[in-house]
């Protein structure tokens, strides 16, 4: 065996990686109190290096290997060990199963980390919804409301807004220039003492109020409310300059603002980023049972109908705790409720690597049980021998 391979396949690397993994997980857990689960997961686990941003130097310094790096090292280490170190004998079959299962587990978690997508679906009793909303990201939506029967929606996702560039959307007669983007904000009333930077907006709400950037939150029960300042100007330029429509402040939880241009009516608003579904979900009834005489929830359930837009097929489902609805490639589970038990909140998860943990964990459990059984047998044989 070549020296490099020997190192790669060595137990020292295994133990080292496991110890680092423990340290990483410990830090990643404790920091959840500050960053929230999502924030800590991104910072510690779904990254090659854990970095610390140093404002004075304006660089991020890596100080700890992240989940991806440790996982990758373990993957190489296991594979090398299986190929070069393990002998394939019947009494080692348990060991084999455990390690092959572990490799699959690492791959599965990697796939989940990249492709797993979580969103939510908030629905009132009697309402029909055919989209999910992102937990964290918002979008700028420009809705063409000219046609009273049908709205046309142009949505600009948060990642594009974050770049603070000029955006040109096909179908809209004007361009959108993102002057400012605040990942999280609060609203303030505009008056004489308002600083100049907050006086950019010259149309709509922005004349009476302004948004102030605040620190982002990653907490579970808290959400960022981004604000954006956009200037709209016509695509067609007459000669040198194009016509400027105005500058708007747009944020969630403020009244919709309208813009007229070129004989068409538009509404401009911020909302949670949406993903359209190929089917529509109607909430027939939401129920919330409590234990007698208490506020302890016994069960929440949503009685829904799913209408497939393509086939026209209608199906009824009951979603309740520990019993989600799996439809298409999504899983809808009962997450919460609000509005005096008239609104149900479903969490929606897409995870293409869903079956991998099942396979890998079955392999590993089987392997461990086998190996443990073999050791136990050996132990009792030895005891019998010693007793004899």
Partner 1 sequence: MKRSLFTIIALAVFFGTIYSNYKRQTPKSELDYDSFGQIPVVLNGRVQPLDSVARNTLLAINGKSTATYQDGSRHQPIEWLAEVLFQPQLAVDRPVFRIHDDGLRAILPHKEPDQSGSMIKRMLLGSGSSHHYYSLNEIRTVYDKIRQDAVEASEIEGQLRNRYQNAVVNLANNVIRFYNLTRTVHHGESPSFIEELTALQTIIPAAIEETEKQQRGEDFDSSKLSPMLSFMQVYRTFESESLFFTHPRPHVDGEQTWLKMSSALDEITRDGKPSEVTLHYATLVDAYRQGDAETFNAALPKLHEAIESIDPEATSKATAERLFNYLSPFYVSIIGYVIVFLLAVFSWPFGSQALNRAAYWTTVAVFVFHTIGMGFRVYIIDYAPVINLYSSAIYVGWGATLLALIIEKLFKNGIGSFVASVIGIASLIVAHHLIDGKDTLEQMKAVLDSNFWLTVHVLTVTFGYAATFFAGFFAIFYVIAGITTKLIDKKVAKMLSSVVFGIVCFSTLFSFFGTVTGGIWADQSWGRFWGWDPKENGAILLVLWNVIILHARWGGFARTRGIMAMAIFGNVVTSWSWMGTNMLGIGLHSYGFMNSAFQYLAGFWVLQLFFIALAYLPQSRWKSPVNG
Binding site for partner 1 (CB under 8 A): 11-12, 14-15, 18-19, 21-22, 25-26, 28-30, 32-33, 37, 40-41, 45, 108-109, 112, 116, 118, 220, 290-294, 296-300, 321-324, 326, 331-333, 347-349, 351, 354, 357-358, 361, 364-365, 368-369, 372, 375-376, 379, 383
Residues counted in the chain: 388
Q: In the complex with partner 1, which residue's Cβ is closer, 250 or 306?
A: 306
Shortest gap between Cβ of 215 and partner 1 (angstroms)? 18
Nearer to partner 1, 106 or 270 (CB): 106
Nearer to partner 1, 22 or 83 (CB): 22
Q: Which is nearer to partner 1, 44 or 248 (CB)?
A: 44
Q: 10 Å Cβ neighbour count for 204?
A: 20
Minimum distance between the CB of residue 184 and partner 1, rounded to whole angstroms?
Answer: 20
Of 255, 164, 168, 161, residue with least CA distance to 205: 255
Closest to partner 1 by CB, 128 or 375? 375
3-state secondary structure of 335: strand
| Minimal distance, residue 92 CB to partner 1, in Å | 12
**Which residue number, 184 or 347, has a Cβ lying nearer to partner 1?**
347
Provide the 3-class DSSP secondary structure of residue 34.
Answer: helix
- For residue 296, the minimal CB distance to partner 1 (Å) is 5
Question: Torsion-angle region of residue 179: left (phi > 0), alpha (psi -120 to 50) or beta?
Answer: alpha
Least spacing, CB of residue 265 vs partner 1, in Å: 40
d(CA 352, CA 231) in angstroms, rounded, equals 40
Beta strands in the chain (DSSP E): 49-54, 59-65, 117-124, 128-144, 152-157, 166-168, 174-182, 185-189, 209-213, 227-238, 241-251, 257-261, 264-290, 297-308, 314-320, 325-327, 330-338, 343-350
Residue 344 CB, shortest distance to partner 1, in Å, is 13
């Amino acid at each position: 065996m070549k020296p490099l391979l020997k190192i790669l396949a060595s137990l020292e690397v295994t133990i080292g990686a496991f110890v680092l993994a423990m340290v990483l997980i410990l830090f990643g857990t404790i920091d959840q109190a500050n960053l929230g689960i999502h924030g800590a997961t991104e910072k510690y686990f779904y990254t090659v290096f854990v970095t610390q941003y140093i404002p004075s130097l304006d660089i991020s310094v890596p100080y700890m290997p992240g989940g991806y790096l440790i996982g990758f090292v373990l993957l190489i280490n296991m594979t090398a060990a299986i190929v070069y170190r393990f002998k394939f004998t019947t009494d080692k079959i348990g060991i084999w199963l455990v390690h092959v299962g572990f490799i699959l587990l690492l791959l599965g978690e990697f796939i989940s980390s990249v492709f797993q997508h979580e969103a939510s679906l908030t629905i009132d009793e009697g309402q029909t919804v055919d989209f999910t909303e992102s937990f964290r990201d918002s979008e700028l939506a420009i809705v063409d409301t000219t046609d009273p029967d049908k709205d046309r929606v142009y949505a600009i996702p948060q990642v594009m807004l974050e770049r603070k560039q000029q955006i040109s959307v096909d179908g809209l007669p004007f361009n959108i220039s993102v002057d400012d983007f605040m990942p999280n904000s609060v609203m303030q009333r505009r008056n004489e003492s308002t600083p100049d930077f907050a006086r950019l907006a010259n149309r709509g709400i922005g004349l009476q109020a302004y948004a102030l950037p605040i620190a982002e939150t990653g907490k579970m029960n808290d959400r960022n409310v981004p604000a954006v300042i956009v200037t709209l100007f016509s695509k067609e330029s007459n000669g040198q300059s194009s016509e400027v429509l105005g500058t708007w402040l747009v944020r969630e939880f403020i009244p919709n603002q309208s813009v007229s241009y070129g004989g068409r009516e538009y509404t401009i608003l911020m909302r949670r980023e949406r993903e359209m579904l190929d089917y529509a979900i109607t909430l027939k009834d939401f129920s919330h049972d409590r234990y007698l005489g208490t506020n302890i929830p016994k069960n929440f359930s949503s009685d829904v109908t799913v209408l497939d837009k393509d086939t026209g097929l209608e199906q009824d489902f009951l979603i309740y705790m520990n019993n989600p609805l799996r439809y298409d490639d999504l899983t809808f589970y009962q997450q919460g409720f609000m509005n005096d038990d008239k609104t149900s909140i479903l969490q929606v998860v897409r995870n293409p690597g869903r079956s991998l943990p099942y396979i890998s964990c079955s392999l590993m459990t089987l392997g461990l049980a086998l190996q443990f059984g073999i050791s136990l047998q050996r132990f009792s044989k030895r005891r019998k021998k010693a007793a004899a």
